[in-house]
Structure 1
Amino acid sequence: MKFSGDEKKLYASGGNDNWIAEYAVENKKLIFKDTIVLGKKWRYQREQRVVYHRPENKKNS
């Protein structure tokens, strides 16, 4: 998030949706005004992670 230089607007990241939300500051409240589209949304690809568990060898005492 970042305020404009005159602190009359707030800009917030839209994350992987690849846009920025613009809010106006009016009477100490944020009012949604617009979105700034930076490009296409990023596509999520689920990574398949495999965790191998190797039990420790235990010797009887």
Structure 2
Amino acid sequence: MDSLYQIEGSVVKYETQYVKVKNNAPEMSQTKKTIDGVFEWVVDPTTDTVTHRTFIPGQKVTGKINQ
């Protein structure tokens, strides 16, 4: 049986936009969005390798795979 590991955490997503202003000089605007959720990974104990990993936004630790 594989071992399931979960931890609550966040992912930060940056969005960059370029806006043309006077004299054709582009201006960069960047926004930052934090997304809370659960990092999940499954380890095969016979080979000690990660067989599955994912981030599930908006979830909490449940102890069940693929919430």
TM range (shorter): 0.3 to 0.5
Higher relative contact order (CA 8 A, sep 6+): 2
- TM-score, normalised on structure 1? 0.37
Q: Which has the larger radius of gyration?
A: 1
